[in-house]
Amino acid sequence: MKVIAAACILACLFSVLGWAQNSHELNFTSNSTEFRDIKRMLRKYLDESAVEKLKERQRTVSGMSTLEDVGKRRAYFREHMLRDLGGLPERTPLNARVVGVLERPAYRIEKIIFESQPHFYVTANLYVPKTGKPPYPAILFPLGHEEGGKAYPIWQQVLGSLATKGFVALTWDPIGQGERIQIYDQDLGGSKVGASTTEHTVLDAQALLVGDHVARYTIWDGVRALDYLVSRPEVDPERVGLTGNSGGGTHTSYIAALDDRIKVAAPSCYITSWRRLLETIGPQDGEQVFPRWIEDGLDYPDYIYAFAPKPFLIMSAIRDFFPIGGARESYAEASRVYSALGAADKLSMFEADDGHGYSKPRRARAYDWLSRWLKGVEDHTLEPEIEIATIEELNCTPTGQVATALGGETVSSLNRGRLQQLRVNLRTKPADLPRAVREISRYQPATEPVRVSSYGVLTRPGYRIEKLIYESEPGILIPSLLYLPAQGTARNPAVLLVAGEGKASVASEAEGYAKSGLVVLSIDARGFGETQPRVDAPGPGDSEFSRYFGDYDEIQIAMLLGKSMAGMRARDIIRGMDLLGARPEVDHDRIYAYGKGAGAVPLLYAASSDSRIRKVAFDGMLSSYESIVASNVQRRVLEYVVPGVLKSFDLPDLVAALAPRAVWLVDTNDPLGQVLPTNQARKEYRSASEAYLHAGAPRAIHTRNRRPGEGAIQISFEVGEDR
């Protein structure tokens, strides 16, 4: 049986070989002040790109002064927001029912269940005044992320006060809170992933893959809550306001911008600016980050323009984690437009010297503002004392959870339904996949030679290591190690190594290749190894988010810019191929690549776009994007997510498109990072195996796992042999 030329080259691909390199010597940051900030490189690159886009936006909106201008901006905003949401669901019967009533002296609380989508149950409380004469003005009250959902005492205080003051007020449990925990665990009595913000972002990863967004579900819950509110005979549908704090301020801004039935809005502790947010706490949970948002030139004032010139009150806390400077900037920008429209009195800002929350000063200002515009009179009366109900008293289900009392749909099951709809349409044809990969990952091929700088040479028995930095694109420097055999031929075969843990983590593999006569380029793609960002601040960049989502801020800022980590890292790999291709020691017809851990998916994108990679191995790669949608819980997959990718292809499709190039799939992972059994991995890649069969190379695709207790795998790459 004839052995391919690469047999000795890749025989040790998955072995832990030789003595470990001294990581101190292999790093650039250890002895050079020039690269001491390289861990900030990716964030700096993204922030600077965002600032440039926001400056472009400022130039675009600076001339707005007429109702026509505002109308065009509103249309632009809604078009892009609805696109990012994946559109809104179909309006279906609410099937609303009252399941209980609590009586209070000045109002009653009705406990309501409705379906915002078929069998997607929403638990809500309606506060109805007992005094005055209907129809009453009404308030829609979306909630923040506090524990207890609609039963949180501050929310009860606001809602009871509004009812006492003559408003019908409706609130509901958002997904992940109260009675609507989506990833519910009966043994834990709560969410499998902890906080509601973590749930939102786990669910958002699924939604993004099918071209949707988790806010598609949260916004639609609010729109359907509004449908129910205005259907009540006690409510005047022409006098409906909207207010909420934090996540409720978020959805006040969203719903007011999208639904013309809202007449007055008062978000609390949300409005800021993206420039200030990036300077401080960074992106928040998944429901607050839209792909391409900054790329499309959108910022916080655009929520106000989509509502203008109706009354809009920004309520802020001077000591909030949402930066007050951003709120002031957005108010100043929008004030100029409202003044130009002759509606200066309809935009206002209120600041309280306190922290995050719907504090008493902000509540008092909200009552006044809502009364002024919905009743025609200001309200300076004191906030009444409200009797606070228990969670059990306000629950709409007998068990306190929709999951155990009603079942029905979850966001995960709805995402899976959306995926089924996509499957009806045939995915991208194999011949078109390279173009689709470039378009979806937003990869732009480089037109200039790669710029490389040398930082010394390390001599080892049988080989030497050149320490190189190459520029993937302006602002992105890739630390790399080039291993050169001491007694190589004029042109040697070569392999590019990219590992999620960085180049130092695969030093043993690189040493083995070099000793076998292989030129090796081991790189730290952006965000890997020496360039991995530090997590310094609390919030969505803290240990909980890091555990589930990795380098969260960088991933989300990239999405805001219409980029993806997979696509950007694929560029780094392809520029590494350019470097190898320019070296006189390398045989251009025998360049291979090995991706390990988080480096595997970007390598797959690169190999799909670059035919110079003749053979490729993926060690510990995520099995598929569909597996993320199929799984209720995932961990550290957000960096692989490319919005809308499942409309065109999945990872097995990309492997199939590599045929007849040789491919090794070793220790394929599920969305929790656990190794799949070999038979299950082969099932996931059945379509790829069929593609290799049709290409006349059935044995060029290899799928296997490490055996129990096996620290290394020895593979002989021979024609016709699949082990």
What type of residue sits at position 308?
A
Average pLDDT of 540-550? 71
Q: Would you say residue 519 has pLDDT above 60?
A: yes
Closest CA to 287 of 177, 439, 442, 421: 177
* DSSP state for residue 675 in the 8-state scheme: B
Do 510 and 648 sit in the same domain of this protein?
yes
Quick one: 246 and 389 in the same domain?
Answer: yes
Residues 41 and 97 in one domain: no
Instruction: Compute the distance between CA of residue 323 and CA of residue 338 in angstroms, rounded to an integer.
Output: 23
Q: What's the CA gap between 505 and 597, in Å, rounded?
A: 11
Is 710 a domain residue?
A: no
Supply the pLDDT for residue 15: 38
Q: Distance between CA 361 and CA 149 in Å, rounded?
A: 22
- The enclosing domain of 85 has a CATH number of 3.40.50.1820
CA distance 26 to 343: 63
Residue 643 and residue 625: Cα distance in Å, rounded?
11
pLDDT of residue 48: 97
Cα Rg of the chain, angstroms: 28
DSSP 538: S
Task: State whether 131 and 280 are in the same domain.
Answer: yes
Domain boundaries, position 538: 7-51+450-704
Note the pLDDT of residue 283: 95
Quick check: 179 pLDDT over 60?
yes
One domain for residues 412 and 465: no
Q: Is residue 437 part of a domain?
A: no
- The string of pLDDT tens digits covering residues 352-384 is 999 999 999 999 999 999 999 999 999 999 999
Residue 402 has pLDDT above 80, yes or no: yes
482 and 568 share one domain: yes
Q: What is the pLDDT of residues 642-660, one digit of tens each?
A: 999 999 999 999 999 999 9
Which of the four pLDDT bands, split at 50, 70 and 90, describes residue 423?
Answer: confident
pLDDT at 20: 42
- The pLDDT score that the predictor gives to residue 547 is 82
Residue 305 lies in a domain: yes
Residue 63: pLDDT band with limits 50, 70, 90: very high
Is residue 31 domain-shared with residue 102, that is, in the same domain? no
* In the predicted structure, residue 447 carries a pLDDT above the cut 50: yes
Higher-pLDDT residue of 717 and 145 is 145
Q: Does any domain span residue 68?
A: no
Answer for the pair 533, 553: CB distance below 8 angstroms, yes or no.
yes
Could you please report the per-residue DSSP string of 315-353? EEETT-SS-HHHHHHHHHHHHHHHHHTT-GGGEEEEEES
Q: Say yes or no: 204 and 329 in one domain.
A: yes
Return the SS3 of 554.
helix
Q: Choose the final residue of a domain: 380, 406, 422.
A: 422
**Structure-block tokens of residue 102:** 């609590």
The answer to which of 78-82, 133-137, 718-722 has the lowest mean pLDDT is 718-722
Of 527, 530, 511, give the one whose Cα is nearest residue 468: 530
pLDDT confidence of residue 440:
83
CA distance 479 to 470: 7
What percent of the chain has a predicted confidence (pLDDT) above 90?
84
Q: How many domains does the chain have?
A: 2
Give the pLDDT score at 710: 55
Q: Which segment of 24-38, 197-211, 453-467, 668-682 scores lowest on mean pLDDT? A: 24-38
Q: Provide the percentage of residues in the chain whose pLDDT is more than 70.
A: 92
Structure tokens given for 232: 């009540």
Tokens found for residue 465: 């290591």
Residue 711 covered by a domain: no
Q: Among 143-147, 229-233, 320-324, 594-598, whose mean pLDDT is lowest?
A: 143-147
**Domain membership flag for residue 229:** yes
Banded pLDDT at 416 (limits 50, 70, 90): very high
Q: What is the mean pLDDT of residues 8-26?
A: 48
Q: Output the pLDDT for position 722.
A: 36
- Residue 426 is predicted with a pLDDT of 61
Residues 6+ positions from 602 with CB-CB distance below 8 Å: 498, 525, 565, 566, 567, 569, 570, 572, 573, 595
pLDDT score, position 30: 61
Average pLDDT, the chain: 91
With respect to residue 442, please indicate whether it lies within any of the assigned structural domains. Answer: no
pLDDT attached to residue 488: 62
- The reply to whether 41 and 140 lie within a common domain is no
Q: Where are the beta strands (DSSP E) in 201-258?
A: 235-245
pLDDT in tens, 79-107: 999 999 999 999 999 999 999 999 999 99
- What pLDDT does 489 receive? 66
Per-residue model confidence as pLDDT tens digits over 45-54: 999 999 999 9
* Among 650, 584, 589, residue whose Cα is nearest residue 615: 589
- Which whole number is the average pLDDT over 416-428? 82
- Structure token digits, residue 704: 């296997």
Whether 7 shows a pLDDT value over 50: the answer reads no
| Residue among 641, 647, 222, 220 at smallest CA distance from 418 | 647
Mean pLDDT of 562-576: 96
| Whether residue 2 has pLDDT greater than 60 | no
Same domain (yes/no): 171, 45: no
- Judge if 584 and 621 occupy the same domain: yes
Q: What is the mean pLDDT of residues 302-323?
A: 98
For residue 39, is it left (φ>0), alpha (ψ between -120 and 50) or beta? alpha
Instruction: Tell me, yes or no, whether 441 lies in a domain.
Output: no
In angstroms, rounded to a whole number, what is the distance separating the alpha carbons of residues 293 and 299?
8
pLDDT of amino acid 31? 57
Residue 660: predicted pLDDT = 96
What pTM does this model have?
0.93
What is the token pair recorded at 14? 């998955």
> Does residue 59 surpass a pLDDT of 90?
yes
Q: How sure is the predictor about 714, in pLDDT bands with cuts at 50, 70 and 90?
A: very low
| Domain co-membership, 46 together with 92 | no
